[in-house]
Amino acid sequence: MNLSDARPVSCPPITWPKEGVSRVPYQVYTDPELYAAEQEQLFRGEIWQFLGFDIEVPKVGDFKTAWIGDTPVILVRSSEDGFSALVNRCAHRGATLCFEPQGHRREFSCVYHNWSYSLTGELKSVAFHRGVHGVGGMPKDFNFGDHDLRRLRVETLCGLVFATFSDTVAPLQNYLGEKMCAHLRRVFARPVRILGSYSQMLNNNWKLYMENVKDSYHASLLHLFLTTFKLNRLSMQGGLTLDESGGHHISFSKMSTDLAGGTDYESGRLRAQQDDFRLRDPRLLGSWPEFDDGITHAIQSLFPNMVVQQIQNAFAVRVLVPRGVERCELFWTLFGFAEDTPEQHRTRLRLANLVGPAGLISMEDGIVGNFVQRAIGERPTGKAVLEMGGRTVESQESRVSEASVRGFWQCYRRHMGL
Ligand code: FES
Ligand SMILES: [Fe+2]
């Protein structure tokens, strides 16, 4: 499908500024019609969505529930080596089938009128299908095969299970591109061990959070903890890698390469410069070299709403679920590796204090989107400026750049026909 031809009649009258992706009209964070169009064209359109790790559903019948945009989905291991992704909505009258985050079923049975489905979503039985004592029941020509659960396309990569509503989107690895797949293979080269999961509500449009993730410029300015303890500064070696669509990105840096001399950090002109603080217990930041490449921080985003995080030895996958125009829910799954020693496991748990809703680093990311949302108002007319690092969409050797944010908008506009 040519995405530029895909604009639906319902798409709102947003005129993109003539400057292109170096401007973003604030209306994209507030428009209810655009939100509805995103559900149809983006989330139920030409994207792949991460649903979970294969090890979260190890046995046949194990399931977890997830979301693709506002559509509830069940990921289930439906055979020894196969997964099904099913819309979590009964084909009878639309009731939710599975309420739990995770569980085990031999079949999916609806509590409302007891219609039952196989693990691959086929309708298997309908209560009182033949009526009672030969009276009532379904019409003679009722065809079970017409009332299966909606099944999605599923593919896996490195133990990560993705699904899509689209029959036409490219296979997963083509959708991600070679650079993004290579980074996933780097992170997920070893069997994973799940450490825990949680979610947090953000009072902002979902795209404001995705911009924040792709914005390497803000990290050492907004997050005082990072610069105070010299964990991540723009004076470290690093860069931005974008895929061809611009929608996916990797931001990376090497902590051992910090040469801050002569920068704004050393001149003390930044709010983020706090030289007089020391941690009483330095174990909070204890770490070891995880990879041979020297990269200590790597944030990867996969369009539209997934993040793979390496902050020293703290790893997580995050998935963002829109919950209305001005709200979204961020799901975190923290992980280590099966081969971790007990000490490495403890270190990862300690480092987990850096991230999450109360994380020493990421706490501010939970509110800064709302700082924008509350300032632009309900019917905004202004626009954001994205000129750091130029006006183009390309990989860069500097992280003093908004190139990956511009890349997000380039990809978004193509999907949305804006
Ligand atoms: S809504 Fe599920 S059986 Fe009626
Ligand atoms: Fe941040």
Domain of 331, in residue numbers: 177-416
pLDDT tens digits for range 102-145: 999 999 999 999 999 999 999 999 999 999 998 999 999 999 99
- CA–centroid distance, residue 365 to ligand 2 (Å): 5
- Atom index in ligand 1 nearest the CA of residue 110 equals 2
Query: Average pLDDT of the chain?
Result: 92
User: Is 280 within a domain?
Assistant: yes
- Atom index in ligand 1 nearest the CA of residue 93 equals 1
pLDDT number for residue 4: 43
User: Is 367 within a domain?
Assistant: yes
Name the residue at shortest CA distance from atom 1 of ligand 1.
93
Give the CATH number for residue 227. 3.90.380.10
- CA–centroid distance, residue 77 to ligand 1 (Å): 23
Ligand nearest to the CA of 225: 2
Question: CB of 129 closer than 6 A to ligand 1?
Answer: no
pLDDT number for residue 5: 44
Ligand nearest to the CA of 109: 1
Is there a single domain that holds both residue 409 and residue 284?
yes
- CA–centroid distance, residue 117 to ligand 1 (Å): 11
User: Is 299 within a domain?
Assistant: yes
Give the CATH number for residue 54. 2.102.10.10
Is there a single domain that holds both residue 294 and residue 146?
no
Question: CB of 160 closer than 6 A to ligand 1?
Answer: no
pLDDT tens digits for range 214-261: 998 998 789 888 778 776 666 678 899 999 999 999 999 987 666 555
Is there a single domain that holds both residue 197 and residue 329?
yes
Is there a single domain that holds both residue 60 and residue 196?
no
Question: CB of 112 closer than 6 A to ligand 1?
Answer: yes
Is there a single domain that holds both residue 398 and residue 302?
yes
pLDDT band (50, 70, 90) for residue 399: confident
pLDDT above 90 (res 262): no
d(CA 26, CA 370): 13
User: Is 145 within a domain?
Assistant: yes
Pocket test for ligand 1, best of 88, 96, 113, 150 (most atoms within 8 A of CB): 113
pLDDT number for residue 229: 77
**What's CA 339's distance to the chain center, in Å?**
26
Is there a single domain that holds both residue 138 and residue 270?
no
Question: CB of 115 closer than 6 A to ligand 1?
Answer: yes
Question: CB of 99 closer than 6 A to ligand 1?
Answer: no
Closest-CA residue to 319 (of 77, 60, 73, 20): 73
Domain tally, the chain: 2
- CA–centroid distance, residue 194 to ligand 2 (Å): 23
Is there a single domain that holds both residue 349 and residue 283?
yes
pLDDT number for residue 224: 84
Pocket test for ligand 1, best of 88, 89, 98, 115 (most atoms within 8 A of CB): 115
Q: Which residues pair with 87 in a beta bridge?
A: 73
Name the DSSP letter for residue 17. Answer: P
pLDDT number for residue 274: 56
User: Is 357 within a domain?
Assistant: yes
Least confident of 44-58, 151-165, 205-219, 263-277: 263-277
- CA–centroid distance, residue 355 to ligand 2 (Å): 10
Q: Which residue stretches of 258-357 are H helix? A: 342-351
- Atom index in ligand 1 nearest the CA of residue 114 equals 3
Is there a single domain that holds both residue 80 and residue 215?
no
User: Is 6 within a domain?
Assistant: no
pLDDT number for residue 111: 98
Strands in 314-322's sheet, in edge-to-edge order, are 192-202, 328-337, 314-322, 306-311, 297-302, 249-254, 237-242
Among 128, 157, 186, residue at a domain's last position: 157
- CA–centroid distance, residue 93 to ligand 1 (Å): 5
d(CA 256, CA 123): 58
Is there a single domain that holds both residue 355 and residue 290?
yes
Is there a single domain that holds both residue 188 and residue 148?
no
**What's CA 91's distance to the chain center, in Å?**
28
Strands in 116-117's sheet, in edge-to-edge order, are 108-109, 116-117, 123-125
Among 123, 157, 191, residue at a domain's last position: 157
φ/ψ of 311, rounded to 5, equals -115, 105
Is there a single domain that holds both residue 130 and residue 198?
no
- CA–centroid distance, residue 220 to ligand 2 (Å): 8
User: Is 172 within a domain?
Assistant: no
- CA–centroid distance, residue 69 to ligand 1 (Å): 23
pLDDT above 70 (res 360): yes
pLDDT above 90 coverage of the chain, percent: 79
- Atom index in ligand 1 nearest the CA of residue 90 equals 2
Q: 20 near 414, Cβ under 8 Å? A: no
Is there a single domain that holds both residue 353 and residue 239?
yes
pLDDT band (50, 70, 90) for residue 282: confident
Question: CB of 93 closer than 6 A to ligand 1?
Answer: yes
- CA–centroid distance, residue 127 to ligand 1 (Å): 10
Pocket test for ligand 1, best of 88, 89, 92, 128 (most atoms within 8 A of CB): 92
Ligand nearest to the CA of 216: 2
User: Is 8 within a domain?
Assistant: no
pLDDT tens digits for range 286-323: 889 999 999 999 999 999 999 999 999 999 999 999 99
Q: Which of 12-21, 86-95, 253-262, 282-291 has the highest mean pLDDT?
A: 86-95
Question: CB of 332 closer than 6 A to ligand 1?
Answer: no
Name the residue at shortest CA distance from atom 3 of ligand 1.
113
- CA–centroid distance, residue 120 to ligand 1 (Å): 18
